[in-house]
Amino acid sequence: MGADGRIQDPEILNHLNIVSIDQLTILGWTTTVLSVLLTMGRLIIHWRKVHSLTLDDLLNTMSAILLIPLNITCLIYLPVEVQAQSYALGLTDKMPTFEQLNYSNHVELAMLFLFWFVIYLVKASFLALFWRLFNISSRFRMWWCGITIFTALSFCVTILMTLWRCGNPSDILTFGACETMSIGTARAILIIWSVLNSIGGIVLMSLPVYMVNTRMLALETPQRVGITLIFGLVVVHIIFDILRTVYALSPDLGVRTNLLAVWLILEPNVAVIVCALPHYKGMLSCGNCRKARGSSSFSFTKSRSSARPQTIVPMDLQDVSGYCLESRSTVEHV
């Protein structure tokens, strides 16, 4: 490190991987447009099936809409960060001004709020979808309620820690306070964000994995595997979250590369895309799904006599070629 604060280590300077602003702009708008188009396709598919939209559709739509201002704030924030990094690496002699850094700090705050709202709207959309598809047993309802409470608490903690990212909510827009916050506190916030997000994604994915592998749904093994893989795409989002956190915490990676910006752009877009994909029949094609006989609709019924009413599968699931969630003629009590 030189007297001017710029890096002079040849080992670092000879192994750089800096993504240009033009490349980040193309990546940001390409993934955002793809996310919005896939979400629109999801709405069209669902509307053509049942002529109505449900809560999970609306939540997915809200997350896709928020991607637009999120991408705009990212592309306002990142050029200043790239310029500061390039100056530190000696790639340019032009250092960002204080006004630019202060404005970038304000934009970063908006970006963080938009980022987490997109992520948790996607989770809420999945929860609404799972309730609509699999609400057929008391065990599922208890599991679903537990995961919903955990997700809501995780969202609240994440937002509160965002407010404390500069040490005190009153200093949240003060650039100097954010820059002087201890490294230990910053690392703790990043780790907590990642842990809550990753654990939430894992337990969220466990819901459909459990349900499609239970005896309550009459599915062949290839169908179970296919649907599990589709909902298991949540793992892709978790991977991006871990990558973003690792690159943010690693001093070496943070200096040599700006791939953190790539993960920052991809993570929310991948989350919205994964949220829309289960509604595409081509992605969930199960071949020879079994049709119910003697009935135009499918229902879950208990094997024991009970006054409890049947749980009817939503109309959009009656086309089992799309979801392959045909029920057995009887369902054991769970």
Query: At 243, which CATH number?
Result: 1.20.1070
- Could you tell me if residue 242 is inside a domain? yes
Task: Determine the pLDDT at residue 324.
Answer: 39
Is the pLDDT score of 167 beyond 80? no
Beta-carbon contacts of residue 255 (< 8 Å; ≥ 6 apart):
7, 12, 85, 88, 89
Domain that holds residue 270: 10-285
- Could you tell me if residue 58 is inside a domain? yes
- Could you tell me if residue 311 is inside a domain? no
Task: At 107, list the tokens.
Answer: 């934009």
Q: Which tops the pLDDT comparison, 235 or 322? A: 235
- Could you tell me if residue 309 is inside a domain? no
Task: Determine the pLDDT at residue 215.
Answer: 59
Task: Determine the pLDDT at residue 207.
Answer: 83
Task: Determine the pLDDT at residue 254.
Answer: 62
C-alpha dist (Å) from residue 278 to 3, 38, 42, 124, 139: 55, 11, 9, 15, 23
Which of the four pLDDT bands, split at 50, 70 and 90, describes residue 29? very high
Distance CA 44, CA 51 (A): 9
The model's pLDDT over 205-229, given as tens digits with 9 standing for 90+, comes to 888 877 777 655 666 666 667 677 7
Is the pLDDT score of 2 beyond 90? no
Task: Determine the pLDDT at residue 233.
Answer: 76
The model's pLDDT over 99-146, given as tens digits with 9 standing for 90+, comes to 888 898 899 999 999 999 999 999 999 999 888 887 877 888 898 999
- Could you tell me if residue 94 is inside a domain? yes
Is the pLDDT score of 284 beyond 80? no
Q: Which tops the pLDDT comparison, 37 or 134? A: 37
**What is the average pLDDT score of the chain?**
77
**Triad 105, 106, 111: Cα angle to 5°:** 95
Is residue 106 classed exposed, middle or buried when 0-12, 13-18 and 19+ CB atoms within 10 A define those classes? middle
Ramachandran angles phi, psi of 29, nearest 5°: -75, -30
Q: Which tops the pLDDT comparison, 258 or 113? A: 113
- Could you tell me if residue 23 is inside a domain? yes
**Top-ranked range on mean pLDDT: pick from 54-58, 137-141, 183-187, 319-323:** 54-58
Beta pairing partners, 17: 257
- Could you tell me if residue 320 is inside a domain? no
Domain count, the chain: 1
* Percent of the chain topping pLDDT 90: 31
- Could you tell me if residue 297 is inside a domain? no
